[in-house]
Amino acid sequence: MRARSRLFAPLFVALTASAWIVLWMWDAGPYARYLRHASWDELPVVGTICRAVPGASLMLEASLHSVAWLLMIAAMMLPTAFPLFDTFRRMTIARDNQRVLTALLIVGYATAWALFGLVAHGFDAALHRLADRSPTLLAHGWLIGAAIVALAGVYQVSSLKHRCLDKCRSPLMFITEHWRGGSARRESFWLGMSHGAFCIGCCWALMLLMFAVGTGSVGWMLALGAIMAAEKNLRWGRSIGTPLAVALMAWSAWIVVQHAGIV
């Protein structure tokens, strides 16, 4: 039991590191642009399948975007939730099915973020289609980026953000509030889903910045992941909110001033 317990943290680190390595290799390779907004139809093999099979384009693009998004979540968000996973593992260490329960917890957490990813990618795709049909919006697309950055800044100091952050910063209290162990497997999964929902409540605005600066940018993922991990897990994490909000609002204003001077 102790040997298995000692393996949890190294395995978790290995999982996170593997996600970062895959993303780095993808971003550095010839297909890096497909990690962002380029069409998967243009890939040599995938594109052929998309064009040959009715409906395959939508299904394959959705699947590949889902893979990319889950890799990002594994790299960026799983480390921020490690205290919850480790606390839960310690609380259930006497159970024979502890590994299954911990796995279900992680799967529930990832599921919440996967659902958010579907909504975010749908919103992003809708904006791109709208811009493609509107020459004015296409010419002033920077306004959307400035608005997203400003929204992220405002949300950093909102009461909803801080309520969700409080939930994420207290893993033991969160577990005792949401998990009774009666229907252990189901409750483990829903515990992960619930924590994922509060985690999204903390971070959704910052995650939207990925769409403003380009999803798949490993540098931005590292920066945002570090900020979110510090907010949730370090004692001084709550103090990040205000200076980050000021920085984001200044960035948004700079985008507006820069482009307004050109127009």
Whether the per-residue pLDDT at 5 is higher than 80: the answer is: no
Q: What does the pLDDT look like over 43-100, one tens digit per residue?
A: 555 555 555 555 545 555 666 666 777 888 888 888 888 899 999 988 888 888 888 9
CB atoms within 10 A of CB 134: 12
Q: What does the pLDDT look like over 165-215, one tens digit per residue?
A: 999 988 999 999 888 877 889 999 999 999 999 999 998 988 888 766 655
pTM: 0.80
**pLDDT > 90 fraction of the chain, expressed in percent and rounded:** 25
* C-alpha closest to that of 211 among 11, 72, 54, 99: 72
